[in-house]
Structure 1
Amino acid sequence: MLLWINGPFGGGKTQTAHEIHRRLAGSVICDPEHLGFGLHRMLPPAQRGDFQDLVSWRQGVVEVLDLALTGHDGVVIAPMTVTDPRCFAETVGRLRELGHDVRHFTLLAERGTVLKRLRERGLGHLLPNAAGKNSGSRRESWAVQRLDHCLERLREPEFAEHLWTDRTSVPKTADRIAVLAGLTLRPHTGGPLRTRLRQAGVGMRHIRFD
């Protein structure tokens, strides 16, 4: 089974994916963003647009996830924002055509909620002085520019199942996905502080400067 976790940038996809992975034995995370970042590095900076526009990214995502799903016994988790119907058909749709059990979920929240999460994501708001004035915020700025488009597109029926997360914690969102997908997660352990530290660690590991 593939759990594709969609949603706006800063919507909680990565945190939810890691929460499920932590509590679901045998699961793995296969992040399609890594392929996109690799393709970006092969291009001069001036040519680095949206890597989802590259046929090589869409085909590569299908090939790699198909390989993972075929060769791995456990659940595969892919946290990735996809808002373009054609791109959705050429990735999620194509994997379904290949016979894989793909469960797609879109995490949604009000605009103000997502903006707050973007400001708090990882330690990006603490890093400008250490990494260059614009390094820590470049990706967040791009995410803000795309936010309204993402929220509008992802509300469409084709991107169901929709899960609203404004008043739901990451562990509870993971629980909801598990129930809808027919999976059983280990109980969530640790109090609010431990959960916060764990999520901060996930955020730090996903801060990028290129």
Structure 2
Amino acid sequence: MLLWINGPFGGGKTQTAHELRRRLAGSVVCDPEHVGFGLHRMTPPALRGDFQDLPAWRQGVYEVLDRALTGHDGTVIVPMTVVEPAYFRETVGRLRERGHDVRHFALLAERGTVLRRLRERGFGRAVGLLAGKDVPPRRESFAVAKLDLCLERLRGDEFAAHLWTDRLGVPQVADRIAAACGLALAPNTDGALRGRLRRAWTGARHIRFD
């Protein structure tokens, strides 16, 4: 089974994916951003744009996930924002056509909720700075610029199932997804502080510099 966790930038995809992996035995996270940033590194800076516009990205994501689903016995978890219907069909759609069990969830929230979460990334940025990583704010600017488009597109029927997360924490979002898929998660034993530190560390480990 593949769990594709979609949503606006800053909507909690990565945190939810790693919470699921932590509590779901045998699962793995396969992040399509790695394909995109690899393509960026091969491209002169002046020619870089949205890597999702590259056919090579869509084909590469399809091939890698097809291989993972074919060769791995556990659940494959994919955190990735995709709001272009054609690109969605080239990735999620083709994997379903291939016969894979793909469950898609769009994590939605009110605009103000997503903006607040983006501001809270500053806590993860502080952890990154302590670890010697200078985190540029441009990703938050990109996320804000794309926010309205993401929220509008992801409300469409094509991007169901929809999961509104305004009043849910990351562990609760993971619980809802697992329940919808018939998956049994290990209990969440984190207290409030430990959970916050864990999410900050997850954010710091996924800082991008490209």
Q: Does 1:23 align with 2:23?
A: yes
Residue pairs, 1:1-210, within 5 angstroms: 1-121=1-121, 123-124=124-125, 136-210=136-210
Distance 2:116 2:84 in 1: 25
CA distance in 1, matches of 2:54, 2:189: 41
- The one-letter code of the counterpart of 1:72 is H
TM-score when normalising by structure 1: 0.95
Deviations along 1:51-81, one digit per CA (max 9) or x if unpaired, are: 1100000000000000000000000000000
Shift of residue 91, structure 1, vs aligned partner: 0.1
> Structure 2 CA distance, aligned partners of 1:204 and 1:136?
12
Percent identity of paired positions between Structure 1 and Structure 2 = 72
Equivalent position amino acid for 2:32 in 1: P
What runs of 5+ residues in structure 1 fail to find an aligned partner?
none
- Asked whether the equivalents of residues 118 and 140 of structure 1 are also in contact (C-alpha less than 8 Å), the reply is yes
Determine if contact 2:128/2:204 at 8 Å carries over to the other structure: no
Q: Distance in 2 between matches of 1:124 and 1:47?
A: 28
Tell me if structure 2 keeps the 8 A contact 1:2–1:101: yes
Runs of 4+ with deviation above 2 angstroms: 122-128
Amino acid at match of 1:74: G
Q: Which runs of 5+ in 2 are unaligned?
A: none
TM-superposed deviation, 1:193:
0.4
Alignment-mate amino acid for residue 124 of structure 1: R
Q: Which residue identity lines up with residue 187 of structure 1 in the other structure?
A: P
**1:207: Cα distance to partner?**
1.2
RMSD: 1.5
